[in-house]
Amino acid sequence: MKVLNIILIGLVILSGSLVVLLVQSNSKLGDHDSIVAGLEERVSEMEAMQNQLVDERDNLIQSINDFEQKERRYLEIQQQLYEIAGITSAKNTLNADNADLDPNAVANQSLDTLQKNQSELKKLRAEKGRLYSKINSLKKDLNSSNADKDRIQEQINQLKAEMDKTDVMISNLEQSIINNKEIIKQQNSEMNTIFYVIGNKVQLREMGVTTKEGGVLWGLLGSTEAVRNDYKNENFTSQNLAVNDEIEISAFVDDITIHTKQHKSTYELVEISESKTILKVKNHEKFRKNKHLIIEID
Q: What is the mean pLDDT of each run of 10 residues along the chain (298 residues)?
A: 54 55 54 60 66 64 66 63 53 45 45 51 58 65 60 70 67 67 77 93 92 61 77 92 94 92 94 92 92 93
- Do 172 and 212 sit in the same domain of this protein? no
Compute and round to an integer the Cα radius of gyration of the chain. 45
Residues 93 and 158 in one domain: yes
Report the candidate in 121, 148, 126 with the shortest Cα–Cα distance to residue 137: 148
Task: Measure the CA–CA gap between 265 and 51, rounded to whole angstroms.
Answer: 77
Amino acid letter for position 171: S
Among 191, 209, 237, the domain-final residue is 191
Regarding whether 217 and 261 lie in a shared domain, the answer is yes
Residue 79 and residue 167 in one domain: yes
How many helices (H) and strands (E) are present in the chain, helices listed first? 5, 9
- Which of 160, 191, 222 marks a domain boundary? 191
| Global pTM value | 0.50
CB proximity list for 245: less than 8 A, separation 6 or greater: 280, 281, 284
Range of the domain at 81: 28-191
pLDDT at 99: 41
Instruction: Answer yes or no: is 21 within a domain.
Output: no
Residue 163 sits in the same domain as residue 218: no
- Do 48 and 101 fall within a single domain? yes
Q: Do 88 and 154 lie in a common domain?
A: yes
Instruction: Report the alpha-carbon distance of residue 283 to residue 274 in Å, rounded.
Output: 26
Q: Is the dihedral of CA 199, 202, 205, 207 positive or negative?
A: negative
How many domains does the chain contain in total? 2
Cβ neighbour number for residue 9 with a 10 Å cutoff? 10
CA distance 128 to 57: 24
Does 171 lie in the same domain as 205? no
- How far apart, in whole angstroms, are the C-alpha atoms of residue 31 and residue 182? 82
Q: Write out the H or E segment, with its range, that includes residue 137.
A: helix 103-143
How far is 82 from 79, CA to CA, in rounded Å?
5
**What is the pLDDT, as a whole number, of residue 158?**
77
- Output the pLDDT for position 284: 92
**In this structure, are 32 and 169 located in the same domain?**
yes
Pair (164, 186) in one structural domain: yes
State residue 182's pLDDT score. Answer: 75
Q: What is the structure's pLDDT at 111?
A: 46
Q: Is residue 159 part of a domain?
A: yes
Last residue of a domain, one of 137, 158, 191: 191
Domain check: are 119 and 155 in the same one? yes
pLDDT of the residue at 213:
76
The confidence score (pLDDT) of residue 11 equals 54
Shared-domain flag, residues 67 and 180: yes
